[in-house]
Chains A and B, each alone.
Chain A
């Protein structure tokens, strides 16, 4: 893990600089996690959409088949 470069440490670094650098690193990780979560969320949403479509198709086929059988009996 590298947080502060040696050059940065060799110079007189103020506490504000350290806080700013820590905030930058924190933000970097935060956005990386957002990116990864969103990328997988898109694919999960797509899978859920496919599952929903599959259910709807099966339901419609079952009801149409039932309707046709009923008509044939009549």
Chain B
């Protein structure tokens, strides 16, 4: 089982590296966007990072519900692993967005609905991690964290629909929208990058899950040492 997991990790890592390498080469060869110039190419990482981050949040939401229903700690381990990975992706999304905004809007940040809700989402998931560190007792920690994760997920649809429902400084959607005008070959590169990030997310989650197993082993050894 352990050997198989390691093989999957190596295969996914090689595939993700290859896809990203080819994509970076393709992106470098693309013409500059007419209105924005070269900085527009940041979209090839900004959007996939957001989608990968929200996919992680969705997995955390489902596994948190499953933990509360089944009381099985493997769902808690999955929720914490995937939340941590999602936080890294969302941080990348926020930072690339801010750098893009500096060139196009002339400002690093603005408190419009999309940006604010995305930042709130990151803060909510960061507070999930902080709560886990603050509570010692494993069952109480897992239950509380699951509730926080479910609560935090409420913000994900708000982030998604914010540019559809409100007038924002952030541009209207170019993907999954009838108003978008993204060329199909450019969309394909975004899709490839997204697949590569999903692969990276799966690798990180598997490594993180293994660490959670080790942490549980450590906790039981500590209890044993205490009992002696």
Whether a CB of chain B sits under 8 angstroms from the CB of A25 is yes
* A22-56 to B contact mask, C-beta < 8 Å, 1/0: 00110111011011101100110011001001100
Which residue from A27, A43, A68 sits with its C-beta under 8 Å from B200?
A: A43
Could you tell me if B228 and A71 are in contact, using CB atoms closer than 8 angstroms? yes
For window 197-228 of B, CB contacts with A under 8 Å fall at: 200, 204, 207-208, 211, 214-215, 217-218, 221-222, 224-225, 228
Q: Does B109 contact A (CB under 8 A)?
A: no
Asked if B39 CB lies within 8 Å of chain A CBs, one says yes
* Closest Cβ neighbor of A45 among chain B residues: B88
B211 adjacent to A43 (CB under 8 Å): no
B 62-104 to A, binary, CB cutoff 8 A, 1 in contact else 0: 0000000000000000000000110010011001100110110
- The answer to whether B88 touches A67 (Cβ under 8 A) is no
Query: In the complex, what residue of chain B is closest to A44 when comparing beta carbons?
Result: B88
Residue A2 at the B interface, CB < 8 A?
yes
Question: Size range of the interface on B?
Answer: 35 or more
User: A31 to chain B: which residues have CB within 8 Å?
Assistant: 39, 99-100, 102-103
Residues of A within 8 A of B39 (CB): 28, 31-32, 35
Cα A58 to Cα B215 in complex, Å, equals 9
Q: Which B residues touch A61, using CB under 8 A?
A: 214, 217-218, 221
Chain A, interface SS category: helix
Q: Known A35-B99, A39-B92, A53-B211; judge A2-B31 contact (CB<8 A).
A: yes
Q: Contacts A35-B42, A35-B99, A50-B207; is A28 near B37 (CB within 8 Å)?
A: yes
Q: How far is the CB of B91 from chain A (nearest CB, A)?
A: 5
Q: How far is the CA of A68 from the CA of B75 in the complex (A)?
A: 30
Q: Which residues of B contact A16 (CB under 8 A)?
A: none
> Does B112 belong to the interface (CB within 8 Å)?
no
Known contacts: A57-B211, A57-B218, A61-B217. The answer to whether A68 contacts B92 by CB under 8 A is no
Q: How near does chain B come to A13, taking the closest CB pair, in angstroms?
A: 18
User: Nearest residue in A to B214 (C-beta to C-beta)?
Assistant: A57
Complex contacts, A25 vs chain B, CB 8 Å: 37-38
Q: Which residues of B come within 8 Å of A, CB atoms? A: 31-32, 36-39, 41-42, 45-46, 49, 84-85, 88, 91-92, 95-96, 99-100, 102-103, 200, 204, 207-208, 211, 214-215, 217-218, 221-222, 224-225, 228
When A and B form their complex, which 3 residue pairs have the shortest distance between CB atoms, in order from nearest? A35-B99, A46-B88, A28-B37
